[in-house]
Chains A and B, each alone.
Chain A
Amino acid sequence: MSALTSRERTAWSFVAPALIAIGLFFALPTIAALFLSLTDFDIYAVADLRNLRFVGLGNYTSLFARPLFWQALGTTMWFVVFGVPATVIASLAAALLLNAKTLRWKPLWRLALFAPFVTTLVATAVVWRYLLHTRYGLINYALGSVGIAPVDWLGSPHAAIPAILIFVVWKTFGYNMIIFLTALQTTSADLYEAARIDGAGWWTQFRHVTLPAIGPTLLLVSILSIAGFFQIFAEPYVMTLGGPAQSTVTVLYFMFEEGFKWWNLGTASAVAVILFVLILIVTLIQLRLTREKSDA
């Protein structure tokens, strides 16, 4: 390899600070997590590194033997399986509403629907904990006015996950809505015109013009949402402390407790690695399915 020209040296001086920071504070820790997950790094190793031992896949096998880990995995899967479709449908519906030709004051409505996304998660989780209060919350009051008995949202293992899901969808759908809206606005008006001339109704237009046009965006939104729902942490931390009966302990919550409450950093790193592999697998499956569908 020949020496760098002076022009190239200058160019590297532009990117070097950022690359060094990324290498030191992102790439190195990410790779280190893999190694850490193969050790018994715990409170004793924090005190003195000589206490560190290599345990191979020991952290993984002991994780797989723990019921709480499987429960956390199950809870996280519930969030993903119900949360992703819910947020995609809510955000697409909102985008379609905002894209309607005859709607007035669009910027105002767009702003209102997007606002929850920029709010502070911890603050709105505190607000929702109160909205969901069994006796004094607005949600049970509204349900009561149509004759539905009060639900113990955050106190019952069956209702806590749906309650947190509603909150997360409320908090995040605005982001996807903006992305959908951009895709809808770039869909050619001629296509709709042609469909109308062919006598297509609203639903037919949606299925045969809108959906194919926003296909790539739909994929992008699903992938981002999947990653997001896999990483739920602050919501149960603030709203339920993982309860009741640990029913809202997610994988990330489990990792946090394992790592920073019990200082089992080896085990916690194994959890982090498993979480990453899961996100990767689900994303790859989704990419594969979409490709097969578009090939067919």
Chain B
Amino acid sequence: MKPGVIILNIGAALVALLVLSPLLWMVAVSLMATGEASTFPPPILPHAPTFEHYRTLFVDYGIGRYLLNSALLASLATILALLFTLPAGYAFAKLRFRGRERVFQALVAALVIPGQIGMLPLFLLLKSMGLVNSYAGALVPWLAGIFGIFLVRQYALSIPEEMIEAGRVDGASEWQIFTRIVLPTLRPVIVTLALFVFLGSWNDFIWPLIVLSDQSLYTLPVALAALSREHVQDNELMMAGSVVTTMPVLILFLALQRYYLGGLTAGSVKG
């Protein structure tokens, strides 16, 4: 190998290590004994790895409850988003109806409006419906996913017209065609969208912070933020809490990265 090539490869490895080092250190410190991380120079690896902080989190602070809340909300958000988005995205791509183009253009234009603008009235609306401080209230924003419709439509455009027409000739209804013929071909974009919504819901902070005031309903990020205010000095405990919060989505991403990265470019470049 040429020296330039070797330098380039070592450089890439160093950059990758630098970028990953906060996450690696998070794991290392979470395994250190209490107080070990508050010494100078900062220890890189735990002297004697211990799981005591994870025990404390689950036994004394009931983080299992928040883990369950996060998992439940993210799963429900994913299912609901798919139910609402898939038929709509397909219809905007393949079904003909008056006003289709105009409605779709309006949706794309609305993509530039940040969700935070309507957050306060949405809170009041949900309050009047009695949905504040409930799982339902936390799930509502995931029903109105314009980006998901856009993503599904982009993918559905490539479904051959003959396939749908063949179903019609056989006498299948439009919904039968959708569930039996179209959905199987949409599989990759379904996985992508499910992954986006699951990760988005899991990582979301400001909306659950606003809408869930009862501690037993907290999601992991909300609980972790509250915990980190009380335990500023307990570095090892906080790192363990961060591992519990972020590891599930990091693993999920690693397992399905192909779908995630593929969807990222499909949604942004083609548009």
Contact = CB atoms under 8 A, between A and B. Distances in A.
Interface of A: 4, 7-8, 10-15, 17-19, 21-22, 24-30, 32-33, 36, 46, 94, 97-98, 100, 102-104, 108-116, 118-124, 126-131, 133, 135-138, 141, 170, 175, 178-179, 182-183, 217, 220, 224, 227, 230-231, 233-234, 237-238, 241, 252, 255-256, 259-260, 265, 268-269, 272-273, 275-276, 279-280, 283
B187 to A, nearest CB: 19
A70 to B, nearest CB: 20
B103 interface: yes
Name the prevailing secondary structure of the A interface residues: helix
Contact of B9 (A29, A104, A260): A104
Nearest to B178: A14
Interface string B165-194: 000000001110010000000000000000
B116 A255 contact: yes
A256 B250 CA distance: 29
Contact of A141 (B41, B112, B113): B41
Contacts of B107: 22
Contact of A273 (B87, B117, B239, B253): B117
B117 A18 contact: no
B116 A136 contact: no
Interface of B: 2, 4-5, 8-9, 11-13, 15-17, 19-23, 25-26, 29, 37-42, 83-85, 87-88, 90-92, 95-98, 100, 103, 107, 110, 112-125, 127, 140-141, 143-144, 146, 149, 173-175, 178, 199, 202-203, 205-206, 210, 220-222, 224-225, 228-229, 235, 238-239, 241-243, 245-246, 249-250, 253-254, 257, 260-261, 264-265, 268-269
Contacts of A111: 254, 257
A238 B225 contact: yes
- Cβ-closest 10 pairs across A and B: A29-B118, A14-B91, A32-B121, A18-B88, A112-B16, A122-B221, A11-B95, A21-B143, A123-B242, A11-B97
8 contacts: A11-B100, A11-B174, A12-B97, A15-B88, A17-B87, A29-B121, A128-B22, A136-B40
Nearest to B264: A178
A234 B268 contact: no
A130 B120 contact: no
A2 to B, nearest CB: 9
Given A115-B20, A283-B112, A122 B119 contact: no
Contacts of A233: 205-206
A234 B12 contact: no
A259 B120 contact: yes
Contacts of B83: 17
B117 A30 contact: yes
A136 B37 contact: yes
B235 to A, nearest CB: 5
B244 to A, nearest CB: 8
B250 A18 contact: no
A111 B253 CA distance: 10
A276 B113 contact: yes
A272 B40 contact: no
A8 B98 CA distance: 8
Given A8-B97, A30-B118, A141-B41, A97 B11 contact: yes
Given A14-B91, A120-B220, A26 B20 contact: no
Contacts of B238: 126, 130
Nearest to A116: B19
B249 A120 contact: yes
Contacts of A103: 8-9, 12
Which of B26, B202, B241 has the most chain A CB atoms closer than 10 A to its own CB?
A: B26
Nearest to A16: B88
Contact of B269 (A17, A25, A179, A260): A179
